[in-house]
Amino acid sequence: MKFKDLLGLSISNLKRRKLRTFLTVLGVIIGTASIIVMVSLGIGQSELQMELISASSSLTTVSVYGGSSGMYYSGSSQSGQSEEPLYITDEVMEQFASLPHVTGASPMLNYYVIAKQGAYENNFNLVGVSHEYMENIPLGEGSVPKAGDKQLSLIYGNMIQRDFSNAKTGEGYWSTGEEPDVDLVNRPVFIIFDPDRYYQSQNQNQSAQDMTGAESGETVQPVTPPKKYIIPTAGIVEGGPEDWNQYSYSVYCDVDALKSQLKTVFRKDPIPGQPTNKKGKPLSYFVYDQAEVYVDDMDNVKEVQDMITSMGFQAMSNVEWVESSQKQMQAQQAVLGGIGAVSLLVAAIGIANTMMMSIYERTKEIGVMKVLGCDMDNIRDMFLLESGFIGLMGGVLGVLCSYLISRIINALYLRQQMQEAAMYGTVMGDISRIPLWLVGIALVFAVLVGMLAGFFPAKRAMKLSALSAIRNE
Amino acid sequence: MKGKRIIEVRDLYKIYQVGSNRVHALNGVSFDIYKGEFVAVVGTSGSGKSTLLNMLAGLEPPTKGTIQIAGKRIDRMNERQLVAFRRNNVGFIFQSYNLLNTMNGIENVAMPLMFRGVPKAKREKQAAKYMKLMNVLDQAKHMPNQMSGGQQQRIGIARAMVVEPKIIFADEPTGNLDSHTTMDVLHLMQRLVREQQQTLVMVTHDNTLASYADKQIRIVDGKIVSLEYGERGLEIEGEDAEAEKQLSLGAGAQQPQQEEGEPETASRERKEQGVSENE
């Protein structure tokens, strides 16, 4: 018998009991939709989690710290010859960059400065990073300084402006509720690269006023206030003063420009924050307290991290966090999928029941077909096709239904998210996500369940006696 | 004109176990059927005639004895082989027509060809040919429930013929028809046998209908009690007819009666009741 004819027979059989077929298909629709929706919730949740992780920091980035006292201790005791602590230098940066799977490395030179504009001042860490690093910062205004630009220019985080406070009263946005009168883009910003001396000179002025000539015997070398530099603004990080992201509270600049700027500011004097050798003299090179190493793929992060650790540095990444949260999410997904699978199981029982009913009803017909020489395998295949078809229809309609349900869930979730986001910043996104592979698996599964449920009824139909055709009712 | 033997039945027994009783539905039956013959198996309800037909068509296995059709021992076949055998050699006409309600006339006729894997266009052409022969071509697009009993049975006969089988079995083919239609259908079957050189085995309880056959095999209590030949039957079998009688009646008479008297009759009656309940 030709497959096309078999298919035609099966479909005409399904058509003749439309309501029953529909009800059975409905069972499969519910089963399929519940599996898809449940799994999509699991996927959505774990992807949201991943987005949250990657919003706070990159998943393929390894942060490296060096030069700490702990490292100094272990470094000297292990090697026994390294007198100096393990610093992250330009040389080390090159080593990092040449590691396998590493696509790039950026030093992070943190330098504490004071910024002034008018009556307002602010202090923050200036972070000197590579040009590549800056290019990944999403900018709302301005542009990243050109590579190799010797002139220092700054990229401000979008929350920096609100952090400025009045130098005299010490009051800022957080106490007064008023936006500080600061314009980082259009008005010049003065940067003080030697905050210690600045504070010393401030204190000195005050103490000088307090005790004018009271103790003239002591000759205090007056501290001259440090020079202020006008540093141009290159850009502002994307987002308003309330949209938090990982760049919001920092100020970035090109590391080479920062180094040359610091050299011109301090000349031969030691630069604050930079280590000195045993004699207290400044080193001839810069030492970075932190660096970021970029890895090509998430799967290789652990390997790179281990390599850097074995070089003697402290390396941190999100891998452990991601792994543990992924494990947790997988368990959650299995539970959700299991709940969905139960309803598909019920649908399978429905299919089996329908097929059994159908066979009882058509006992005589099957007998006639057998008397007229219909192959037994064909009879079995006909019933298998019917139940498989029920599965397929239920699967297709179930997929459509689950898209609908998923949309509704997402719409509801979005409203809740908006409320949460208004209170504290959160990552926005769909909670129910249906990837294409899930649709494919669900369809295959539905057809398979249909055919499996129809298997025993079909075998039974195949074995029905041809004699039933002869009996007259 | 002498025919070839197409069916050879030898010493056929069918014993049913009903409760603790053994019922001999067929009790040692032997006969031959020749190609081109119209044979009627006549008997009252419960005589064993239907059981005989079922076994000839391979729907039930015999308890003992041999059935050879077109040179093949069908009593030795398993179910799959039997289905295949029927598909290739046998046509079947039912008492209650047994058309498939989901199919229209021509699809019903073409169905056995579908089982053989014949493409749709070809099988419907073939079906149309036999429907025309049966005078029901106008019913091609009608569903069975839109047809009269006579029309349905003609479709049924066309369905049996469409595969051009070596042999056609008919189980009380006119049982559900009125007397006028009965004669109509009977004449059609007769014509079919004569014109198409078909072999037809018809089971009936009606002596009048049986008299249209070329050869009547009369069965009582599971045994052949007489063979009657029509003119054409004698023509086909010729001198074999006497040997036939010897084989069917003599062999049957020589069989020892194993069960006698009251119990057997009683149990047979029970079976008859069972059969008539079904009918």
- Report pLDDT digits (tens) over A307-348: 888 888 888 888 877 888 888 888 888 888 888 888 889 989
In this model, does residue B130 exceed pLDDT 50? yes
State the Cα–Cα distance between residues A205 and A147, nearest whole angstrom. Answer: 42
Could A1 and B92 be called an inter-chain contact, meaning their C-beta atoms sit closer than 8 Å?
A: no
A343: left (phi over 0), alpha (psi -120 to 50) or beta: alpha
Contact predicate A402/A336, CB 8 Å: no
Contact predicate A101/A300, CB 8 Å: yes
pLDDT for A119: 85
Measure in Å the smallest separation between the Cα of B244 and chain A Cα atoms: 29
Enter the pTM of the model.
0.70
CA angle B162, B50, B260 (to 5 degrees): 160
pLDDT for A82: 46
Could A375 and B120 be called an inter-chain contact, meaning their C-beta atoms sit closer than 8 Å?
A: no
Confidence class for position B188, pLDDT limits 50, 70, 90 = confident
pLDDT for A211: 56
Measure in Å the smallest separation between the Cα of B86 and chain A Cα atoms: 5
Work out the percent of chain B whose per-residue pLDDT is above 70. Answer: 89
Contact predicate A34/A344, CB 8 Å: yes
Nearest to A371 among B57, B88, B163 (CB): B57
- Digit-coded pLDDT (tens) for A85-113: 678 888 888 888 888 888 888 888 888 88
Length of chain A: 473
- Compute and round to an integer the Cα radius of gyration of chain B: 19
State the Cα–Cα distance between residues A390 and A408, nearest whole angstrom. Answer: 27
pLDDT for A372: 92
Interface test with B, best of A371, A381, A467 (most B CBs within 10 A): A371
Contact predicate A462/A56, CB 8 Å: no
Interface test with A, best of B87, B98, B143 (most A CBs within 10 A): B98
Nearest to A373 among B83, B120, B279 (CB): B83
Confidence class for position B234, pLDDT limits 50, 70, 90 = confident
B46: left (phi over 0), alpha (psi -120 to 50) or beta: left
pLDDT for A425: 58
Least confident of A148-152, A261-265, B10-14, B119-123: A148-152
Nearest to A375 among B83, B100, B159 (CB): B83
Contact predicate B224/B47, CB 8 Å: no
- Using a CB-CB cut-off of 8 Å, the residues of chain A touching B95 are 472
For β-strands B5-18 and B64-69, DSSP reports them as: antiparallel
Which residues lie across from B69 on neighbouring strands?
Answer: B7, B72
- Using a CB-CB cut-off of 8 Å, the residues of chain A touching B163 are 373
In this model, does residue B273 exceed pLDDT 80? no
Query: How many helical (H) and strand (E) elements, i.e. helices and strands, does chain B have?
Result: 11, 10
- Which residue from A minimizes the CA distance to B60? A467
For residue A145, how many other CB atoms are within 10 A of its CB?
Answer: 22
Q: Using the Cα atoms of residue A18, residue A24, residue A25 and residue A26 in order, give the sign of their dihedral.
A: positive
pLDDT for B272: 43
State the Cα–Cα distance between residues B131 and B146, nearest whole angstrom. Answer: 16
Contact predicate A372/B159, CB 8 Å: yes
Q: Count Cβ neighbours within 10 Å for each residue of A33-52 and write b for 16 or more, e otherwise.
A: bbbbbbbbbbbbbbbbbbee
pLDDT for B271: 45
Measure in Å the smallest separation between the Cα of B78 and chain A Cα atoms: 12
pLDDT for A454: 92
State the Cα–Cα distance between residues B265 and B267, nearest whole angstrom. Answer: 5
**Residue that is written with structure tokens 């019913």 in the block:** B139
Could B84 and A16 be called an inter-chain contact, meaning their C-beta atoms sit closer than 8 Å?
A: no
Angle between the A363-371 and A319-361 helix axes, to the nearest 10 degrees?
A: 80
For chain A, domain boundaries? 3-55+324-469, 58-317
- Residues of A near B (Cβ–Cβ under 8 Å) read 1-2, 5, 12-13, 15-16, 364-365, 368-376, 378, 465-467, 469-473
Could A1 and B60 be called an inter-chain contact, meaning their C-beta atoms sit closer than 8 Å?
A: no
Does residue B51 belong to the interface with chain A, where contact is any CB pair within 8 Å? Answer: no
Residues of chain A with confidence (pLDDT) below 50: 68-83, 213-217
Nearest to A469 among B79, B94, B117 (CB): B94
For β-strands A251-254 and A154-156, DSSP reports them as: antiparallel
- Using a CB-CB cut-off of 8 Å, the residues of chain A touching B90 are 373
Of residues B62 and A243, more confidence is placed in B62
Nearest to A470 among B59, B86, B163 (CB): B59
Of residues A454 and B251, more confidence is placed in A454
Contact predicate A374/A462, CB 8 Å: no
Which residues, at least 6 apart from B25, have a Cβ–Cβ distance to it below 8 Å? B14, B15, B16, B48, B51, B222, B271
Residue A207: both structure tokens together:
């103490």
State the DSSP code for A304: H
State the Cα–Cα distance between residues B224 and B222, nearest whole angstrom. Answer: 7
In this model, does residue B112 exceed pLDDT 90? yes
Among candidate residues A236, A121, A233, the one with its CA nearest the CA of residue A180:
A121
Contact predicate A409/A37, CB 8 Å: yes
Residue A56: both structure tokens together:
């706070």
Q: What's the CA dihedral at A82, A83, A87, A92 to 10 degrees?
A: -30
Residue A284: both structure tokens together:
């001839």
In this model, does residue B194 exceed pLDDT 90? no
Among candidate residues A16, A1, A34, A11, the one with its CA nearest the CA of residue A342:
A34
Measure in Å the smallest separation between the Cα of B166 and chain A Cα atoms: 14
Does residue B100 belong to the interface with chain A, where contact is any CB pair within 8 Å? Answer: yes
Does residue B276 belong to the interface with chain A, where contact is any CB pair within 8 Å? Answer: no
For residue A431, how many other CB atoms are within 10 A of its CB?
Answer: 19
Q: What is the ipTM of this complex?
A: 0.85
- Using a CB-CB cut-off of 8 Å, the residues of chain A touching B94 are 368, 371, 469-470
